[in-house]
Structure 1
Amino acid sequence: MMATASSAHTLTEGPTVGAGLGRRQVHAVAACYFVASFAALGLPPYLTEILPDLGDASARWAGLLYVVPTVFGALGAPLWGRAADRFGRKRLLLRAQLGLAVSFLLAGWADSLGAFVTALVLQGVLGGTFAASNGYLGAALTGSGLSRALTLMQGAARAALVLAPIVVGSLTPWISPHRQYALLAVLPLAAAAMLAALPEPTAEPAKPAPAEVPDAAVPLAPLRALYAFEFAFVLSTVISFPYLIALIEDRIPGVSPVVSGALFALPHLCYLLFALRVHQAVERRPMQGIAAGFGLVALGLAGHGAADSLAAFTVVRLVLGAGLTLGLVSLSVLAAECAHGRPPGGMFGTLELVSKGGAVAAGLAAAAGNSLLGPPAPLLTGAAIALIALAAATLPALFRRSPRIRWSR
């Protein structure tokens, strides 16, 4: 949480439009997402320890259950997003936090594999805090203010991804990872209590300049580019997660778990340190930032195949971190452009569907590649996908703005 807050001091530079939604409120939304993500991101790596107590002695279902919340979260995200546009973004954001709390409690007290699986399904169906938070912000912020807020939200996700497994591991000697689900249910409950004090966002239309083109004639930013690059970026980066530690231990015999974990976290730390500075550089040229991000991701992932020392792994992880930061920040800027003139709940819900679809595809591709060619295969596959996306980023037709679409209320 400290990393999230400390890196956000310049968030509200640029337009910030909405009913009572200032810097503190945006920070509160990001902090609530950060704390609510702890169980969702910190406990799945410990499924191999949880499942034997539930009857799966060899934890053979761990790989499948790892993606169950993601799959059902992806299926539910567009529905919840459209509901937010209709019934209120704050109400649906509170629903997402309370839904997580209920599912975590059920998972923590499940006494059979079936009950635990049901809780994970409910986590996906009832959760969706990232899309709900973005929809809330998109209803009150525009332009630079929204893109900075989305960049901050990604920072909250990266911080939780780095810190949550460490905290869960530290608590394990006193309480099992299984029971920690119930313990950590207090976090989304606390987030819901904090969010209850926030206003319902209501964007106020900006007054057009005399020479400005009428709003109806302004083209919408292309959703097809946003969705295509979101899917490809998530797929090319997440595919490297599952078997990275195994690759490091194979290439650097005797490496300590602490060093392996630090190497895993290094790209995400790069994002936390440099995201807002990168935002200033790519704010007016997100497509160039996305292309550069894919290029660095491809270079970094390919470099993992040749890395055979701590120094080499550090270099390629930093290159990957640069690509990760450039790509994620540029996608946030493009998403802010696409949100202009569109119902934000539906758009961000669909974007969440696309993102989680990329994560599921990455997990399946990583498992298939590893079983055939070993730990380097997923990294090389990710590099190939990033190169294809880089080539697509040079096609101008993909980025042509589409005609203004009138949305019915």
Structure 2
Amino acid sequence: MNRDERKRVRGVMLCHFVASLAALGMPPFFAILLSEEFASTQLHLVGWLYVLPTVFSALAAPWWGRFADRYGARRSLIRAQIGLALGFLLASQAGSVSGFALALAVQGMLGGTFAASNTWLAGELEGERLARALTAMQASARAALVVAPILFGYLIGGISPLTLYAWLALLPLAAAALVATFPAHGPTREAARAADSASSDTRSSPPGAAKTVPPGLLLWLQFGFSFACVVTYPYFIADLQGRFTGLSTVTLATLFSLPHLVYLALSAPLGKVLRRYCPRRILTLAFAAMALACWAQYGLAGSGWQSEAGMWLARVAMGLAMTAAFVALHRLMSSASRQRAGRLFGRLFGRLDAAAKWAGVAAGLGAGVLASRFGLASPLLASAWVLAALGLSLVPRLAQLLPSPSQRTRT
């Protein structure tokens, strides 16, 4: 990327991070919010509330996509920030669980900042430049997941959750004002494509260069991995509160954020190390390691420092495996994007975004059902099983990556 491109990408990342603080940081405290603000003991509602904005965001995404095509990606991004702020303000005024649910629905219907940000980036960049920008956007989301729970865990001790929503509405409004300062048009995608082609012609592919994968396989990996990650979110803090008595809210929030902190610290250096290896093989090993980490968290009891230390180690291992999986997925997405042109390029990333959203919907609903029937720790076990299934689904396909004897003879 040139200097102007990096400046614009960093600006979009900052705006997405600011807007994501409340959207991603408050849901882990929904159980506390229900009990303190609405005197509700129906903890199974947490999973439903957790997934509600995602449902409406997935339903509204096609309409807002047409809005961006007609009025421009920058206006769409400003619109998403303002819609998110409106949802937060409505949440702060909720007088019942149903009113709070309505505010979350508005947040999903009028928000969609991640999709809007990716749409803006797709209009500016392409190929390798877009792949790096999308990786940076994932880092922005992880940063919000790291900072927000720890920050809000501290603030909720002195501010009611609904009052905190009112103050947080200022963040997306500030982001909208910043987006309004962005230039309306950046370099053309044709120029970006030419630059990528010239760059690829001047250097050889690394030994582990990603090969194009079928779109169906990519969608399945995106959906399954997103499901396995999100299903562990809604009840994690509530589960640890019951199993590890005496831990402070800040400590619980830190444990929740730890895998995402590992991603922020290691995604760049790990990406360089793993560049030489086949991304499908990386995914297989990463899924297996993450499944073991989730299984370990499910089995840990809440007595003694050994169990607490085990939880910290399991969360670090989960973060390492998650980071490796994201690095491999981004390489596969980048490879697939190079085979697309024009509207097919946007269609590919639109489908991937939809797969992640519907995975979040299924994970939130599944977490609610599992927690109510099998206990608050059961989503961790479900994640382990899904990850194991993903890894097994890749094993028969590993042989397809090796050249056939006839191909080796021709080369």
Do the two structures share a fold, i.e. TM-score over 0.5?
yes
* Residue number in structure 2 paired with 1:144: 128
State how 1:148-187 maps to structure 2 within 5 Å. 148-172=132-156, 175-187=159-171
What are the Cα deviations for residues 304-358 of structure 1, in whole angstroms up to 9, with x where unaligned? Answer: 2443412222222222111110112222232333334254554434322211211
* Residue number in structure 1 paired with 2:361: 360
TM-score under structure 2 normalisation?
A: 0.80
CA distance in 2, matches of 1:198, 1:300: 42
SS in structure 2 opposite 1:237? Answer: helix
Pick which of 112-121 and 100-109 moved more.
112-121
CA distance in 2, matches of 1:324, 1:387: 14
CA distance in 2, matches of 1:282, 1:54: 47
Q: CA deviation at 1:89?
A: 1.9
Letter paired with 1:286:
P
State how 1:50-129 maps to structure 2 within 5 Å. 50-51=33-34, 57-58=40-41, 61-111=45-95, 113-129=97-113
CA distance in 2, matches of 1:283, 1:173: 44
Question: Judging changes above 3 Å, is the alpha-carbon distance between structure 1 residues 118 and 303 closer, same or farther for their aligned structure 2 residues?
Answer: closer
Pick which of 27-36 and 195-204 moved more.
195-204
SS in structure 2 opposite 1:22? Answer: helix
* Residue number in structure 2 paired with 1:269: 261
Report if the CA contact (8 A) 2:149-2:254 is conserved: no
Instruction: Give the counterpart of 1:310 among 305, 308, 313.
Output: 308
What are the Cα deviations for residues 85-131 of structure 1, in whole angstroms up to 9, with x where unaligned? Answer: 45422221222112112222222234455543332211101111111
Counterpart check, 1:300 vs 2:284:
no
Question: Judging changes above 3 Å, is the alpha-carbon distance between structure 1 residues 301 and 22 closer, same or farther for their aligned structure 2 residues?
Answer: same
CA distance in 2, matches of 1:119, 1:398: 49
* Residue number in structure 2 paired with 1:396: 397
CA distance in 2, matches of 1:261, 1:378: 18
Counterpart check, 1:37 vs 2:20:
yes
Letter paired with 2:285:
A
CA distance in 2, matches of 1:295, 1:26: 33
Report if the CA contact (8 A) 2:121-2:133 is conserved: yes
SS in structure 1 opposite 2:181? Answer: coil
Question: Judging changes above 3 Å, is the alpha-carbon distance between structure 1 residues 114 and 301 closer, same or farther for their aligned structure 2 residues?
Answer: closer
Pick which of 244-253 and 383-392 moved more.
244-253
Question: Judging changes above 3 Å, is the alpha-carbon distance between structure 1 residues 222 and 197 closer, same or farther for their aligned structure 2 residues?
Answer: farther
Question: Judging changes above 3 Å, is the alpha-carbon distance between structure 1 residues 124 and 368 closer, same or farther for their aligned structure 2 residues?
Answer: same
Letter paired with 2:219:
Y
Q: CA deviation at 1:40?
A: 1.0
Report if the CA contact (8 A) 2:258-2:315 is conserved: yes
SS in structure 2 opposite 1:229? Answer: helix
* Residue number in structure 2 paired with 1:229: 221
Q: CA deviation at 1:34?
A: 0.5
TM-score under structure 1 normalisation?
A: 0.81
Pick which of 80-89 and 243-252 moved more.
243-252
CA distance in 1, matches of 2:115, 2:10: 16
Report if the CA contact (8 A) 1:144-1:283 is conserved: no
Q: CA deviation at 1:189?
A: 1.2
Q: CA deviation at 1:228?
A: 0.8
SS in structure 2 opposite 1:136? Answer: helix
SS in structure 2 opposite 1:197? Answer: coil
Question: Judging changes above 3 Å, is the alpha-carbon distance between structure 1 residues 342 and 221 closer, same or farther for their aligned structure 2 residues?
Answer: farther
RMSD, aligned α-carbons: 3.1
Pick which of 390-399 and 115-124 moved more.
390-399
Segments of 5+ residues of structure 2 without an aligned counterpart are 202-210, 302-306, 402-411
* Residue number in structure 2 paired with 1:22: 5
What are the Cα deviations for residues 365-407 of structure 1, in whole angstroms up to 9, with x where unaligned? Answer: 223333333344322221111111112223439999xxxxxxx
Report if the CA contact (8 A) 1:224-1:398 is conserved: no
Pick which of 232-241 and 200-209 moved more.
200-209
Pick which of 317-326 and 86-95 moved more.
86-95
Question: Judging changes above 3 Å, is the alpha-carbon distance between structure 1 residues 391 and 45 closer, same or farther for their aligned structure 2 residues?
Answer: closer
CA distance in 1, matches of 2:65, 2:222: 18
Report if the CA contact (8 A) 1:235-1:361 is conserved: yes
Q: CA deviation at 1:47?
A: 3.5
Question: Judging changes above 3 Å, is the alpha-carbon distance between structure 1 residues 80 and 305 closer, same or farther for their aligned structure 2 residues?
Answer: same
SS in structure 2 opposite 1:142? Answer: coil
What are the Cα deviations for residues 21-45 of structure 1, in whole angstroms up to 9, with x where unaligned? Answer: 4212111111110000112122233
Question: Judging changes above 3 Å, is the alpha-carbon distance between structure 1 residues 399 and 166 closer, same or farther for their aligned structure 2 residues?
Answer: farther
Pick which of 157-166 and 276-285 moved more.
276-285
Report if the CA contact (8 A) 1:47-1:59 is conserved: no
Letter paired with 1:181:
Y
Report if the CA contact (8 A) 1:71-1:357 is conserved: yes
Pick which of 108-117 and 73-82 moved more.
108-117
Q: CA deviation at 1:272?
A: 0.7
Q: CA deviation at 1:248?
A: 4.0
Question: Judging changes above 3 Å, is the alpha-carbon distance between structure 1 residues 372 and 109 closer, same or farther for their aligned structure 2 residues?
Answer: closer
Question: Judging changes above 3 Å, is the alpha-carbon distance between structure 1 residues 49 and 154 closer, same or farther for their aligned structure 2 residues?
Answer: same
* Residue number in structure 1 paired with 2:194: 206
CA distance in 1, matches of 2:11, 2:47: 34
Instruction: Give the counterpart of 1:322 among 315, 320, 323.
Output: 320
Letter paired with 1:143:
G
State how 1:319-398 maps to structure 2 within 5 Å. 319-340=317-338, 341-343=341-343, 345-396=346-397
Q: CA deviation at 1:283?
A: 4.5
Counterpart check, 1:287 vs 2:280:
yes
Report if the CA contact (8 A) 2:150-2:250 is conserved: no
Question: Judging changes above 3 Å, is the alpha-carbon distance between structure 1 residues 274 and 180 closer, same or farther for their aligned structure 2 residues?
Answer: same
In the comparison of the two structures, how many residue pairs are matched?
Answer: 376
